[in-house]
Amino acid sequence: MATLNSPLPKRSQAAALGARAVTESVFGKASVQLKVKNLAFYGILLTALTIATLSIAAILIWSIVEGHPRLDLNLLVNNPSSISPETAGYRPAILGSTYLIAGVILFIVPIGVASAVYMELFANRAKWYNRFIELNIQNLAGVPSIVFGILGLAFIVRGPLSLGFVVAAGSLTVALLVLPTVILASREAIRAVPSSILEGSLALGATLWQSVRRQVLSAAFPGILTGVILAVARAIGEAAPLLLVGAVTFVTFDPKYLEGGYSALPVMIYNYAGRPQEEFHTLAAAGILVMLLLLMSINSIAIWLRARSEQNW
Amino acid sequence: MTDTKNPDQIKATVIDQDSHMSIVMDDMTGVSMEDFAGRESVFNLSDVNVHYGNSLAVKDVSLDIYKNQITAFIGPSGCGKTTILRCLNRMNDLIPSARVTGSIKYHGEEMYSPEVDPVQVRKLIGMVFQKPNPFPKSIYDNVAFGPRTLGMSGNMDEIVEKALRDAALWDDVKDRLEDNAYGMSGGQQQRLCIARAIAVKPDVILMDEPCSALDPVSTFKIEDLMMELKKDYTIVIVTHNMQQAGRVADLTAFYSVVSNDEIGSRTGQLIEYDTTNKIFSNPKDSRTRDYVTGRFG
């Protein structure tokens, strides 16, 4: 026991032991069972965390191990090729994905934030249509992406918008897919701004619009960006709806917004991974790393913006 | 010397004695409601009723609020004092179910007539809330927000400094204007909110229990500040704290709740409005007496 080894004089040691005996007689000893339970709980938490981390690590490590022979500049700047996989690259797909995501962000930020502002600050929840809209947005967040692909094909590629199989159609389709994420996250962020802030601003004679824009939205900005990050992360990896709205698996020219074919990283990775030759599998693994790199560079801009504006409540 | 005393002169002597702890009530004796009759009023309320949905929250309030005076609204919870206060700068407009009837005149103009823009009303009639609610920005930006938003001209640094000085906060914060306002103490935050309100040069300042979340020292600082501010502004304060009303207010309105058990409603009502001295020493209504002597509420 620690107390016996301590440099206290003998009488003090005896006193310390006596004090412990008294404490234990009053409160009872800490039960072993309780300690075991605590440890077990801690263990469960740690296991869960390990599983989550391991799966991410597994993907990364596998991609690096498989793809490392092809981690060169050709990967980024060359066009794809079915003849020489040793020098083939992802150029059109990288550009396609970048265009796609840029369009998604341009679409989801204003529409998502405006919807969230309406639902949090203006909608009268007593009205049935506001509750109906709210329910629908929550449900939309859980709709499988292929359904949005069909929607995009019917209404954006064909139908009323008739954009054809172009990047803009892909952007719009994926934007619709991730819009609920942005709306829900923005609503949370707006709700977290105390109503006293809005009241304080209105009481100074600011208009509702000025108060919402300069106080509520500026305070909710970090939370809204978090929603955008989540949405972009989902959008960049979507392949299924893109296949339906015209992303082709193999293009050798740079995409344009409103005309011509285009590809995207996940679609092209899917194409390479399905080929029999080993070299194409290496190329696919390297492509995963390219996609993660693109995602990280987009998100790092958002994270930098968020850190810059973060407020302490 | 005329028989009627000028309430301002009397109050001035009270301030000079620098004894905010005990408003010397004797000095106010002899000043009665009649002395205010001819003075310039800022608000004239007559038969004001406020409904929330179908329930009547406050009934038949009629009173005048005088320029450069501090008027206190006191009364038990649910008596409608805050509701009436929020009618005075149309903050109740933000509650969709709230409906105000009767007449509230501001310098003779009907405040609830359809052509009046509530935003314009709030520019002239500022408000300080129960819980300090600084914006999540720097101290400087908190004060500058109002003037900037309203497009006030002049040197912003000077406007901010003047407002902070007037709110007795300048010496506390002059070296950390760029710090987040949330790092201040509760009392400083509330004085920042007052600074923010006076930065837009309002005519009236409404205060909704401004000291209820503060410690006694901060409370006295705010009370001191109010005595200072009333030279330039008209102040209406809602307070739960009767001693506070006694210390700072020239006039006091006592509200109470009238419940009707048959229909299960509780409606606030103005019971008595008089000089603070009269309300506390010799009220007309027995309900006022019971309340100010601590027998109920």
Tens digit of pLDDT for each residue in B4-57? 555 555 444 444 444 444 444 445 556 777 777 778 889 999 999 999 988 889
Q: What is the pLDDT of residue A312?
A: 47
**Cα–Cα separations (whole angstroms), residue A282 to A69, A79, A90:** 7, 16, 13
Averaged pLDDT, B69-96: 91
Which positions in chain B touch A194 (Cβ < 8 Å)? 133
Question: B146, A313: Cβ pair inside 8 Å?
Answer: no
Q: Which of B17-26, B34-43, B173-182, B234-243 has the lowest mean pLDDT?
A: B17-26
Q: What is the pLDDT of residue B253?
A: 94
A 184-213 residues inside an 8 A Cβ radius of B = 194, 196-197, 199-207, 210
Nearest to A124 among B94, B96, B134 (CB): B96
In whole angstroms, what is the distance from residue A176 CA to residue A308 CA? 29
Nearest chain B CA: its distance from A310 CA (Å): 10
Q: What is the pLDDT of residue A15?
A: 83
Question: A199, B94: Cβ pair inside 8 Å?
Answer: yes
Label residue B201 by pLDDT band (50, 70, 90).
Answer: very high
Nearest to B91 among A197, A203, A207 (CB): A203
In whole angstroms, what is the distance from residue B34 CA to residue A73 CA? 91
Nearest chain A CA: its distance from B85 CA (Å): 12
Residue of B nearest to A220 (CA): B136
The model's pLDDT over B112-157, given as tens digits with 9 standing for 90+, comes to: 999 999 999 999 999 999 999 999 999 999 999 999 999 888 899 9
Residue of B nearest to A199 (CA): B91
Q: Which has the closest alpha carbon to B63: B79, B82, B84?
A: B84
ipTM: 0.84
Which pairs count as long-range contacts for A229-233, CB under 8 Å and 24+ apart, including other chains? A229/A299, A229/A302, A229/A303, A230/A181, A230/A185, A231/A104, A231/A108, A231/A112, A231/A178, A231/A179, A231/A181, A231/A182, A231/A185, A232/A101, A232/A104, A232/A105, A232/A178, A232/A295, A232/A298, A232/A299, A232/A302, A233/A295, A233/A299
Half-sphere exposure (Cβ direction) of B78: Cα atoms closer than 13 Å: 9
A 113-142 residues inside an 8 A Cβ radius of B = 124
The yes-or-no verdict on residue A309 having pLDDT over 50 is yes
The yes-or-no verdict on residue A170 having pLDDT over 80 is yes
Mean pLDDT over each residue of chain B, to the nearest integer: 86
**Cα–Cα separations (whole angstroms), residue A185 to A177, A178, B12:** 14, 11, 56
Nearest to A311 among B126, B136, B197 (CB): B136
Q: Which has the closest alpha carbon to B95: B104, B105, B103, B87?
A: B87
Which positions in chain A touch B193 (Cβ < 8 Å)? 200
Question: A311, B180: Cβ pair inside 8 Å?
Answer: yes
Q: Which of A4-8, A129-133, B262-266 has the lowest mean pLDDT?
A: A4-8
